[in-house]
Chains A and B, each alone.
Chain A
Amino acid sequence: MNYYLRRTIRIPATILGVATLTFGLIRLLPGGPFTQLRIQLRRRGMDAQEINARIEALQNIRPDKSLPEQYIDYLIGVVQLDLGQSISLNKPVIEVIGQALPWTVFIVIVSTLLMFILGVLLGSLQAYWEGTTFDSVGSGLSILFMSIPYYIYAVAFLVVLAFSWRVFPTSAAADRSIEAGFTVAYAVSVLHHAALPIISFTIGGVGSTALSMRGNSIQVLGREFVEVARLRGLSDQRIATRYVAMNAILPMYTGLLLLIGFRLGGTVVLEEIFTYPGLGFYLIEGVNANDYPLMMGCFMVITIALVLAVYVADMTYGLIDPRISVGDADEY
């Protein structure tokens, strides 16, 4: 059996673990499931019998069942992609996630790629011009930008560009008056709405990527094979791309994929600030409303995304770096 197969088998195992943890942790939260709803319903003057019936209908797990039974039910639900019914939105959780996830993925992938590309370009230029004013100013700005958390940019942009200057919208993923579809008007609207979240999620990351790219490139530039390549008379362009950039980016590649996974979770605050209807936004909604099925669904999706990102990184690293024979990656 080879490494790829082994690595693939490990994924369901990880997801099972995650599902178990979400199930357990959320049940440990104070309040217990449906307390909030029960209070609300009671306030409306509903009698206890009716409340119980209502709650039973709402969820895929019955609170009167024993914990193991609930657990089994929950797992069966997960396998069938049935994550229960959102209490606050009164819709199946999987439907809510299905609508929210594409927006979040869009924001995260675009901003992470942008961050990586800009960071790599900036970092390599700094490395080539090591010690120049450009380098020191670049490093200074990188450190400054990366030390400010992304939500500060988000709030600042929102206040200045959206509320004061009204250049960008303040909420939603697209203009509601434009019908969704592959039209130019809709695409422009989507980009217009996503611009601020993407920019604020990118700036800080550019700084840190640039710094590590700069460090890696300077290290590679000092390596003997670059010197030998120069003596062999290769063009500067080939040395810059095939020798320096390739070897400097390689160690950052796994980091990039992991970052995409981690940043999925980071959208919680971002989407809340921009009222952007993504996964993070609904996660907060779920937390605020004690909407357990929704929370668990969002947690599950974010973790599965992370697990898949690590999986893709593991699978492809061997293809990208020939030194890593799959399975025993002792370098990096």
Chain B
Amino acid sequence: MSSHSPGSQEHDNRQPDPILEITDTNVTYTDGESYVLEDASVSIHRDEILGIVGESGSGKSMFASAILDAVPDPGVLTGQLRYNGPDGTVDILGLSDEQLRAFRWEEIAMVFQGAMHSFNPTMKIKTHFTETLQSHDRSVSEGMSFARELLESLYLEPERVLNAYPHELSGGMQQRALIALSMVLNPEVLIMDEPTAALDLLMQRSILSLLHDLQAEYDLTIVFITHDLPLVAGIADRMAIIYAFEFVEIGPRDAIISNAAHPYTRALLQATPNINSPLEAMESIEGQGPAPANVPSGCRFHPRCPVATEECESVDPALEGAESNRHRVACHHVERAREELTVSTDEAGAFSATESTTRPSTDGEPLLELSDLEVHFESSQGLPEGLIGDPDVVRAVDGVSLSIEPQDLVCLLGESGCGKTTLGKAMIGLQEPTGGSITFRGDPLDEHDDARAALQIIHQDPSSALNPNRRIVDILSEPLLHTHPNASIAERRSRITSLLERIGMTPADAYIERYPHQLSGGEQQRVVLSRALLMDPDAVLADEAISAVDVSLRIEIMDLLLELQAEFETSYLFISHDLSNARYITEHAGGRIAVMYLGEIVEIGTAQRLLTDPRHPYTEVLRWATPALGLDTDGDDEPPVREIDVPDPINPPSGCRFHTRCPVARETCVDTSPELRDCADVDGAVACFRSDPDHQYWESEPLDGASERPE
């Protein structure tokens, strides 16, 4: 452990000016026996953005609560927390209850992950602002005009948002309103605990870039806590990595990304799917982080560390300077870690390394063929109303044509609410289409008796997809009873055991007697996957199948999906909102990505083509929204959309549906709708007038706020 005070350690040319000095701070439970934050010694510099990265359950949220002395009962907070505010230095742990009440939100405010849960559901947003101002004896009229200014700079309409109840706003709007609420007293420090984790990537990136602006404008210090390393790498000045309740590495962002010293950091960098590094370089980290009750002795990472030695098992390394005192790391073998563990962000030119392995389209008939498929939902109404008024119609899927070959992989990519799940469900016959047709092996899907068994699904949340009252062996026997009705119990059991071993759940004999809640999230998802594959399906719909799994495990699950695809000769429909995951899996399988926007496919093509040569402006926007691990990325670029929020699907925009947000929209796009056409020079298809050089689009005027950008 570092016994030095961080202030004396961090001297360098830029003369750090710590606004918060956290020294030897611990949070313990059960009478000091289990630590959920141990010996945290960090200083936070004035006006910096400090990114804190850790897996779920690593103690990173506890660190946020500790800064505000708001550790939930019965946790005990000890140590020293000094705040160097404009009115002198404050010892946070020495404050009285009343002083603490005033200190919080005026000096340090906090933004939580679920904005939905941070607002009182029975109060208008406005009341949240006014009551906060009143309880801190601020002028309500001045405070509210500042609030309106904040909301406006966050791309929100102040009056509309203030007069709404929380549930009337979309997730992204709520989160931005919460950020405004946290800043209404103009605090010095903003602590953000996973503020964007529940949001779409595009919204995440947009909020991040807005944060960057706000930080500069209002001289904020931001502590950004997240599990998503590439996300925070885009905006952070310095980064701290937390593992098993301890900080393992702290340093300037560039040093962490390009010259990470701790094996865990290097593994994290390697494990995160991202769009810049070559595919073969991505690897997941074996195992998972420990629970507070059984933290390993010595270096806590040693059971998962590839360079661990005997020393690591007994001696806990101190957090000390690696090169300079600004870059501190807790590892005995920094040199070996850097030599032996490669991180692919070190080199550039990622795409040269990847080969596009597009599978030549099979000559036979397609497995599934959709033509002009429509799924419209009417908002539920009772009998008298349905007879009189026009019901509101949500066009979840509106005219989609797509064909899927045997052993194909198609990834549906889009923001939440774009209809990708509905389309997926319609494709496997779980959702009755309201228009168009689906054929399965040449016949209409609903006339096919085998189709139900041949089309399977993997849900997003494995814990709710498995019956909690049945053992794994019972769960997996179910599909076998269907496919092999004559197999004996012993045969089924041995088939299940060998499959479990195949997917890395060993010893299988121990696993098959367990109940779903006794498995980790990753293991549960493997069981769900096995259950689907044991049906010998022709196609599997994987609906955000890896979103609920911890970041470090996502690659592993995707690899498993890919390996099993070959083995079971199935096609995948992979639904994702994350371009980097979509790219990983489609590029490996040689599939295509179909980008969806408000019920329509706007562009389809190979992952490589979409990344290097996107033809639709929306694809470009998604590309921008995907955090790239690199030194050249910076969070201060403006979001390349004219509107941050997705339009209401009940009343989708006329013409091209993207025209309200499109950065290059012109008059033509308002009333004419482009069709999905095959690209002339590259693979795939795109629905944008810009792909046609002779289109009248080029003659019409750009819309308000859109750029000319001729190409």
What are the residues of chain A within 8 A of B118 when measuring CB–CB?
A: 224-225, 228
What are the residues of chain B within 8 A of A250 when measuring CB–CB?
A: 122
Chain B interface size range: 35 or more
Question: Interface segment, B36-44, B78-86, B98-106?
Answer: B98-106
Instruction: Report the Cα distance A238→B128, complex, angstroms.
Output: 12
Q: Does A247 contact B (CB under 8 A)?
A: yes
Can you list 11 pairs linking A and B with CB atoms under 8 Å apart?
A: A6-B382, A9-B384, A231-B109, A232-B104, A232-B105, A232-B181, A247-B120, A247-B121, A322-B121, A322-B165, A323-B122
Q: In the complex the two chains form, is B384's CB within 8 Å of A229's CB?
A: no
Q: In the complex the two chains form, is A6's CB within 8 Å of B384's CB?
A: yes
What are the residues of chain B within 8 A of A233 when measuring CB–CB?
A: 101-102, 104-106, 132, 135-136
Q: Does B110 contact A (CB under 8 A)?
A: yes
Q: Does A95 contact B (CB under 8 A)?
A: no
What are the residues of chain B within 8 A of A73 when measuring CB–CB?
A: none
Chain A 216-249, CB-CB to B under 8 Å as 1, else 0, gives: 0000000111011111111100100011001100
Chain B's closest residue to A238 (CB) is: B131
Instruction: Report the Cα distance A225→B68, complex, angstroms.
Output: 16
Chain B's closest residue to A224 (CB) is: B117
Instruction: Report the Cα distance A327→B135, complex, angstroms.
Output: 37
Chain B's closest residue to A250 (CB) is: B122
Q: Does A25 contact B (CB under 8 A)?
A: no
What are the residues of chain A within 8 A of B380 when measuring CB–CB?
A: 328
Chain B's closest residue to A244 (CB) is: B120
What are the residues of chain B within 8 A of A235 when measuring CB–CB?
A: 135
Q: In the complex the two chains form, is A231's CB within 8 Å of B120's CB?
A: no
Closest CB-CB distance, A315 to chain B, in whole Å?
15
Closest 4 CB pairs of A and B: A224-B117, A322-B165, A228-B118, A233-B101
Chain A interface size range: 20 to 34
Known: A228-B118, A231-B105, A250-B122. 12 other contacts (CB 8 A): A1-B384, A1-B388, A6-B382, A6-B384, A225-B119, A229-B120, A232-B104, A232-B105, A234-B131, A234-B132, A243-B120, A322-B165
Chain A's closest residue to B388 (CB) is: A1
Chain B 134-161, CB-CB to A under 8 Å as 1, else 0, gives: 0110000000000000000000000000
What are the residues of chain A within 8 A of B123 when measuring CB–CB?
A: 242
Given contacts A224-B118, A228-B118, A322-B122, contact A6 B131 (CB under 8 A): no
Q: Does A321 contact B (CB under 8 A)?
A: yes
Q: Which of A3, A234, A247 has the most CB of B within 10 A?
A: A234
Q: Does B485 contact A (CB under 8 A)?
A: no
Instruction: Report the Cα distance A223→B68, complex, angstroms.
Output: 18
Instruction: Report the Cα distance A327→B119, complex, angstroms.
Output: 24
Q: Does B385 contact A (CB under 8 A)?
A: yes
Instruction: Report the Cα distance A223→B116, complex, angstroms.
Output: 11
Q: Which of A237-266 contact B (CB under 8 A)?
A: 238, 242-243, 246-247, 250
Q: In the complex the two chains form, is A323's CB within 8 Å of B135's CB?
A: no
Closest CB-CB distance, B165 to chain A, in whole Å?
4
Q: In the complex the two chains form, is A242's CB within 8 Å of B120's CB?
A: yes
Q: In the complex the two chains form, is B135's CB within 8 Å of A232's CB?
A: yes
What are the residues of chain A within 8 A of B109 when measuring CB–CB?
A: 231
Q: Which of B64-108 contact A (CB under 8 A)?
A: 68, 70, 72, 101-102, 104-106
What are the residues of chain B within 8 A of A322 when measuring CB–CB?
A: 121-122, 124, 165, 167
Q: In the complex the two chains form, is A227's CB within 8 Å of B70's CB?
A: yes
What are the residues of chain A within 8 A of B574 when measuring CB–CB?
A: none
Q: Does B112 contact A (CB under 8 A)?
A: yes
What are the residues of chain B within 8 A of A323 when measuring CB–CB?
A: 121-122, 165, 167
Instruction: Report the Cα distance A116→B305, complex, angstroms.
Output: 60
